[in-house]
Amino acid sequence: MNPSHRIFWHTLAALLVAFTTTLHAAAKPNIVLIFIDDMGYGDIGPFGSTKNRTPHLDRMAREGMKLTSFYAAPVCSVSRAQVITGCYGQRVSLPGVLFPGAPTGLSSKEHTVAELMKAQGYATMCIGKWHLGDQPVFLPTRHGFDHYFGIPYSNDMLKPQKVNGVRVVPLVRDEKVQELLTDDDEDGITARYTDEAVKFITEHKDRPFFLYLPHNAVHTPIHPGAQFRGKSANGRFGDWVEEVDWSVGRVLDTLRELKLAENTLVMFSSDNGPWLVKGTDGGTAGPLRGGKGSTWEGGVREPTLAWWPGKVAPGTVCDAVAGNIDFLPTFVKLGGGTIPGDNKIDGKDIAPLLLGQTKESPHEARYYYSGYRLQAVRSGPWKLAIAPQNDGMGKTGAPIPASLDQPRLYNLDQDIGEQTDVAAKHPDVVARLKALALKMAAELGDGKPGPEVREPGRVENPVTLYPVADDGKKAAPKKNAKAAAPANTRGASMDNLKIGDTLTGADAPQVLGKPLTITCEVETKAREGVIVAHGGVAVGYALYLKEGHPVFAVHQGGKDIVRITSPNALEGPATLEARLASDGTMTLLIAGKTVTTGKIDGPLNRQPAEAFCVGHDDLKTVDDYDGKKLFAGTVRNLKVNTDGKK
């Protein structure tokens, strides 16, 4: 062959290969998932907000689809497990909130959406709140993401540095702590995440990419950036919502400018409902009942949008039941992959819904779990509640009763606010949904893990990402003081602990299923302050002052908090005693005299995962008070009794 001909054919072959490769890459759509923290159903314009200005999300809805029956989970870690694995969080043993330094997290045996997208040639990155474990083996880079940048858990999980006691959260780059952020430093986090997202998209414009952008916004504490602070008509919460909207606009504008819009699916959603107990910092569920922490619609139905110019029809609305368990199978199939058959998942491919090919949900039913307790099931417009439901995390008031024998039934098409129980009118629907509930309970459990629940990832001797003052060990005693007796023995003395100290793990009072008595001598001129606290928003107890009145609060897992409050304020030094009896009777005594009583179902049904704190309440507080502020007074002769004897 003539050399010039050989060169011609080799060049042509190379061009054909390059063209085929480019064509193949173009056939794979880019995927961007923007995931917000604690945003309620009514917090953005497309879902009815008139308080928060969201022009970019409004435009996204006009140019795409609004999904009005899209579900997550009652709390954050569970919801994020669902996004990443395509499973109900319970199936992968992530049924509740994870805390810094936890020994459990996302198992390496799970197939993640990032891992499966990466196998199809996608560049992958996670930017923001991960919250599936902070040990190295649990971080995003061990689960299919090429890179990670973000705070690996909630922005309120600040812990005091060992070196100086300043409370911070880590900002992680891949697997290394890049910075330690104080509370004030978090003001710029949304802008930093947005800059990283734009950079990632720009650097990977010539190959398919999967970007997971889980913002810390709008979880409390509220941290809008300087350019948005004080600009909205809805206080600092509205400021942050409007900054989120700006961030979405930058991402979409970048895709438009790079001519990637018509080959990119962008999804916008939230991890759970609004944290209602936070008041003006907590957002709104709009027409829905309940909020974060509940299995009412307001706790789990999320404002969700889909945008893909030329593929998702503009201005459309989809009311078919779907959820964040569907992200994985949908994204993987769009990317040309398949779901491995070794691990069962719960999600379904909802591309036919997004692309307007059907209006029917691929799900026979949607299940509402709180922890491992199955509380409700939805099929079509019908929702059957089969367990008591509270209004949300930290909300007061008795749960609305329900059981398999006496369920509640709602037609959500006619009664989106879940106000009218129509069970008596539709026994056939009740029977059908009860059968669905029993079938799922046989798989995933109801009150405890079922036979199809897979093990979580586990590590021995977990440590936090940076040295902290309460590094998982008992607080150091005062100089020359004797070591404290074990905290789970009768009358254990904690008098060597000082205000600001903590006990964790086995050193904390072991209160699961046991009666509890706390006694101490208190002297203070303050009107507010935590005396002792153990646990958090899921389960725990606290003794504190509110407007000078002693309050004893107990929070059982999956139930509303119960408080008893002294009718009289403290005047001078006093001996306080708080009791929780085996039958659930709560008693508060001052100077040996009963001042008030209350009742719950029994002792705590879970051991609190958080620390036992003296004079403060770290991380997520048991009740609605300022846990960071140290008690302004003295706490002496502190004792905890867990054997029921006096």
- The CATH number of the domain holding residue 144 is 3.40.720.10
- Confidence grade of residue 24 (pLDDT, cut at 50, 70, 90): very low
d(CA 340, CA 65): 29
Residue 301 domain-assigned (yes or no): yes
> 616 catalytic, yes or no?
no
Residue 51: count other Cβ atoms within 10 Å of its Cβ. Answer: 16
Q: With beta carbons less than 8 A apart as the criterion, state whether 149 and 127 touch.
A: yes
Residue 401: count other Cβ atoms within 10 Å of its Cβ. Answer: 11
CATH code for the domain in which residue 378 is found = 3.30.1120.10
Residue 459 domain-assigned (yes or no): no
Residue 560 domain-assigned (yes or no): yes
On whether both 627 and 578 belong to a single domain, the answer is yes
Query: Within 283-418, where are the H helices?
Result: 297-300, 327-334, 351-354
On whether both 287 and 423 belong to a single domain, the answer is no
On whether both 440 and 498 belong to a single domain, the answer is no
- Range of 499's domain? 492-641
CA proximity to 117, closest of 334, 351, 345: 334
Residue 622 domain-assigned (yes or no): yes
On whether both 183 and 300 belong to a single domain, the answer is yes
Q: With beta carbons less than 8 A apart as the criterion, state whether 237 and 54 touch.
A: no
Point out the domain boundary residue: 409, 444, 479: 444
pTM score above 0.85: no
On whether both 308 and 418 belong to a single domain, the answer is no
pLDDT of 314 above 80: yes
Point out the domain boundary residue: 444, 476, 506: 444
Q: 3-state DSSP call for residue 629?
A: coil
pLDDT computed for residue 645 by the predictor: 60
pLDDT of 306 above 50: yes
On whether both 253 and 305 belong to a single domain, the answer is yes
> 534 catalytic, yes or no?
no
Distance of CA 621 to the CA centre of its chain: 15
Write the pLDDT tens digit of every residue in 384-407. Answer: 999 999 999 877 778 899 999 999
Q: How many Cα atoms are found within 13 Å in the side-chain-facing hemisphere of 484?
A: 30
pLDDT of 489 above 70: no
Strand arrangement, sheet containing 516-524: 492-493, 633-641, 516-524, 574-580, 585-590, 593-599
Write the pLDDT tens digit of every residue in 567-600. Answer: 988 988 999 999 999 999 999 999 999 999 999 9
Residue 462 domain-assigned (yes or no): no
Strand blocks (E) in 8-139: 30-36, 65-67, 70-71, 104-105, 123-127
Write the pLDDT tens digit of every residue in 230-275. Answer: 999 999 999 999 999 999 999 999 999 999 999 999 999 999 999 9
d(CA 153, CA 166): 18
Point out the domain boundary residue: 444, 479, 500: 444
d(CA 45, CA 42): 8
On whether both 403 and 339 belong to a single domain, the answer is no
CATH code for the domain in which residue 555 is found = 2.60.120.200
Radius of gyration of the CA atoms of the chain, in A: 26
On whether both 381 and 335 belong to a single domain, the answer is no
Q: Which two tokens stand for residue 467?
A: 């040295």
Length of the chain: 646
- Confidence grade of residue 506 (pLDDT, cut at 50, 70, 90): confident
- Confidence grade of residue 486 (pLDDT, cut at 50, 70, 90): very low
Amino acid residing at 538: A
Average pLDDT in the 527-550 region? 92
Write the pLDDT tens digit of every residue in 90-126. Answer: 999 999 999 999 999 999 999 999 999 999 999 999 9
d(CA 535, CA 623): 10
For 14-23, 124-133, 174-183, 223-232, which range has the lowest pLDDT when averaged over its residues? 14-23
Q: What is the 3-state secondary structure (H, E, C) of 185-211?
A: HHHHHHHHHHHHHHHHHHHCCCCCEEE
On whether both 390 and 355 belong to a single domain, the answer is no
List Cα–Cα distances, 416 to 143, 411, 431, 544, in angstroms. Answer: 38, 8, 21, 38
CA proximity to 78, closest of 282, 304, 460, 346: 346
Residue 608 domain-assigned (yes or no): yes
Residue 17 domain-assigned (yes or no): no
Q: Of the residues 56, 76, 215, 363, which is catalytic?
A: 76
Q: Cα(first)–Cα(last) distance of the chain, in Å?
A: 103
Q: Regarding beta strands 585-590 and 574-580, do their DSSP bridges make them parallel or antiparallel, or are they unpaired?
A: antiparallel
Identify whether 218 is preceded by a cis peptide bond (ω within 30 of 0). yes
On whether both 238 and 120 belong to a single domain, the answer is yes
d(CA 290, CA 521): 39
On whether both 330 and 387 belong to a single domain, the answer is no
Q: Of the residues 56, 87, 126, 131, which is catalytic?
A: 131
On whether both 354 and 379 belong to a single domain, the answer is no
Number of domains in the chain: 3
Amino acid residing at 492: A
Residue 213 domain-assigned (yes or no): yes
